[in-house]
Amino acid sequence: MRIRIVDAFTDRPFAGNPAGVLLLDAFPDDDRLQRVALEVNHSETAFAHRLPPGGEADWALRWFTPATEVAMCGHATLATAHVLHSTGAHEGPVRFATRSGVLTATPREDGSVTLDFPTAPLTPVEAPAGVAGALGAEPLTVLDTGPNIRDLLVEVADEDTVRALAPDLKALASHSERGVIATAPAQDPSRGYDYVSRCFFPNVGIDEDPVTGSAHTALAPFWSERLGRPDLTGLQASSRSGLVRTELRGGRTLLSGRAVTVIEGELLA
C-alpha cells in the first residue's frame, strides 16, 4: 500500500498544508482508516479508490483527521488530485464521490488544480459569550458557516490581529462544532492577496490547520460581497502559510492552488 505526503496550496516543499494520500483497491473498515490517519498525524489523510466506469464519479474519497472522519476537506482533495495526475492514475478532470456530494478537481496548464466545492451558506449570528476571550480578539462580525464545514467565521479588526492570535483552544472548542475561522482584510493588497485567515479546529484534533480549502468556501462569499469581486486570493497566515485562489460562482466556489509531493513510501502494517 503506497502512501504519499503532499504539501497542498503551495508550490514548494515544507509549506502549505501537508496531507497523507493513499490510493486503495477498496476502503477497509473505518477503524483501520482512523488508525492510519492517526499514524500519519497530519491534519487530514485522504483515502481514495477507483469506481466502476459509467457512474457519476470516478473515485470514492474520504478524509480523516487524527481524531475523526470529516465531511469536507479542500487541501487533501487537492493533494489526492495531484497524486492521481502526477502518477498517471487519472487524466483530466476527476470526479470524487464524497460525503459532500460529487466534487470535481480539474488540472490547469499552469500546473495548478481547481476544485469545485459547494459554497458555504453564511448566517449572521450573535457572538457567543466568551468567544472574544477564547479567541483573544474582539469579533466585528460572526457567521455560522452551515453543515458542511460547521465553523464560526469571525471577522476581526485587521491583518495584524489575525497574525497575532494565540487562542485558548480548550475554551474555543465550546463555541462551534469544528472550530473557528478568523479573518480580516489584507493590510496591503499589492502583496498578492485580498484577505487573511487562520483556522483553529480543536474539536477534530487540529489546534491550527495550516491552509484550509474548505474554510475558503465560506471566506470566498464573505469577502466577495465585501470587496465587490468574485475572484480573490486568500492568504492563510499560519506558520507554514499558503495561498488559495477563490472564484465565487453562486452556489459553487472554485478553489485553486498547487501541490508538491514530498514523501513517498510503503505502508507496512
**pLDDT tens across 200-226, in order?**
999 999 999 999 999 999 999 999 999
pLDDT 10s digits, 165-198: 999 999 999 998 999 999 999 999 999 999 999 9
Confidence of residue 247 (pLDDT cuts 50, 70, 90): very high
Work out the number of other CB atoms within 10 angstroms of the CB of residue 65: 24
Could you give phi then psi for residue 172, rounded to 5 degrees? Answer: -65, -30
Q: What is the pLDDT of residue 188?
A: 97
pTM, two decimal places: 0.94
Q: What is the pLDDT of residue 171?
A: 95
- Show the cell assigned to 165: 492570535
pLDDT 10s digits, 133-169: 999 999 999 999 999 899 999 999 999 999 999 999 9
Whether 269 shows a pLDDT value over 90: the answer reads: no
Whole-number average pLDDT of the chain: 96
Q: What is the pLDDT of residue 65?
A: 95
Whether 250 shows a pLDDT value over 90: the answer reads: no
Rounded CA separation 117/200 (Å) = 21
44 is an active site residue: yes
Whether 1 shows a pLDDT value over 90: the answer reads: no
Catalytic-labelled residue, pool 44, 155, 159, 208:
44
